[in-house]
Structure 1
């Protein structure tokens, strides 16, 4: 399944916040959407799902496996969410009802999408918990969101996004709120899942070191416009804009000790560092 965004323009109360961007995510491809705060990354992800906030208007075209999103009724776009496109947000607690167990919430989309019995959906919820490597999945699915750690809840949120067996996964800053060790574990989980499941990935971040660990190609946004588009290694070693140079230097300065971080050589690099 492919995602094709053509000349996407988003305005909020008449102010242009995304200005005519175009990019593609092919079947099974890993693409990063990177930029500073306010660059339009998250709004672009919400537009793909037809979830723009009140006052926001999208024009242009967004095709999910050939089906148009822009200008389509919410009822029709809703059929894409979860089944064909799943999303993981930065704050996992926003994805869960605090008064329902994790297992019941993992089971809900399974029942909705697959039409199975409660017992079958409950068993599938345990499978999802195991898929995202939650400890003691049979026990953990009985717990409530406040009873698990932030890292465990983010794993559960990834399981929730995968419950409908989507062909494209959107991850919107999914590691920003986590400490470095947990961040590395979550990135490893994304890496394994998209490889094993053959899922396409649109990974949104402001951190080039994180992006380099998970994506092959990147689209760089600044003030709602694309300023660079190419392989992540090209961005690291051959940046063409001042913004990307700043992102490279920021990654080296703040993420040097983290797994997957960038080397402390010049911007253009010397020898290719090991992955």
Structure 2
């Protein structure tokens, strides 16, 4: 078992925002955390990486290969991030440093975690840029984030997350800010990379139609609590909770518009 979350509670300034969340992500599994804004899905993922915002505290248990992460020193968590667990955030514009080239940002993780020199790390950055299908990788690594499109910036963020070949990828609404065509390309890229590397995936979304494309198991959250956990096929065919039923209606409306266009 790679990641195991048990009875996770997160409080922010004394207010409980995640209440008793539990789920497991075995090696190679693809699990989705789904819910509306404010359901606690992103905070749950951030807790696993020790990246909770100021004022937030976590209790319960989050174990990685049996090692407890809650309370782990920041230095040890920093080694874990990148080496074992990678994360892709929703908005690459805020995740990327605007005054550093994207190649340096991809190379930084490689240098920190694998001890490569500057030249070797740059060569690896070019390889990683090609791996996420960025055009003209030898040139694009010398550009700055503002010189790239939104889809290209998200590909850079994916390259950064996967550069050290982590065993688990957490993707926090990675396509929400993109148009439908680019969204489909990024989802296909993520699935291809996860399959090629045999990684586990935790995919966070508010969109059941998107979840159906990337995950096999789903955990539905509302107000910080799990209201349903089932295979995604079950969530689509026979949703048990009113929350999931509402998400399914939204997904159906997206997939089948009144004018008949998918």
- Shorter-chain-normalised TM-score: which range? over 0.9
Q: Deviations over 1:216-272 (max 9, x none)?
A: 000100111101111001000000011111100101112337xxxxxx9xxxxxxxx
CA distance in 1, matches of 2:222, 2:200: 24
Aligned residue number for residue 114 of structure 2: 114
**C-alpha displacement of 1:99:** 1.0
> TM-score with structure 2 length normalisation?
0.96
Any gaps of 5 or more consecutive residues in structure 1? 258-263, 265-275
**C-alpha displacement of 1:96:** 1.4
CA distance in 1, matches of 2:256, 2:99: 40
Aligned residue number for residue 56 of structure 1: 56
CA distance in 1, matches of 2:35, 2:94: 23
Aligned residue number for residue 19 of structure 2: 19
CA distance in 2, matches of 1:104, 1:71: 31
**C-alpha displacement of 1:75:** 1.7
Task: Compare the two structures and name the one with the higher helix fraction.
Answer: 2
**C-alpha displacement of 1:158:** 0.2
SS in 1 for 2:189: helix
Say yes or no: does 1:164 pair with 2:199: no
Aligned residue number for residue 256 of structure 1: 256
CA distance in 1, matches of 2:197, 2:218: 21
Aligned residue number for residue 34 of structure 1: 34
> TM-score with structure 1 length normalisation?
0.92
Any gaps of 5 or more consecutive residues in structure 2? none
Q: How many residues align?
A: 259
CA distance in 2, matches of 1:156, 1:256: 32
Aligned residue number for residue 76 of structure 1: 76
**C-alpha displacement of 1:163:** 1.5
**C-alpha displacement of 1:2:** 0.7
CA distance in 2, matches of 1:115, 1:75: 16
Say yes or no: does 1:10 pair with 2:10: yes
Is residue 79–residue 113 contact of structure 2 (8 Å, CA) maintained in 1?
no
Say yes or no: does 1:194 pair with 2:194: yes
CA distance in 2, matches of 1:75, 1:128: 26
**C-alpha displacement of 1:9:** 0.4
Q: Deviations over 1:33-88 (max 9, x none)?
A: 00011000010011000011111110000011222111222122112111111000
Say yes or no: does 1:173 pair with 2:173: yes
CA distance in 2, matches of 1:77, 1:140: 31
Q: Deviations over 1:117-164 (max 9, x none)?
A: 211111100010011111111111111000000000000100000112
SS in 1 for 2:171: strand
Is residue 218–residue 231 contact of structure 2 (8 Å, CA) maintained in 1?
yes
1:138-157 matched pairs, under 5 angstroms: 138-157=138-157
Aligned residue number for residue 235 of structure 1: 235
**C-alpha displacement of 1:18:** 0.4
1:216-235 matched pairs, under 5 angstroms: 216-235=216-235
**C-alpha displacement of 1:185:** 0.2
SS in 1 for 2:82: coil
CA distance in 2, matches of 1:250, 1:164: 37
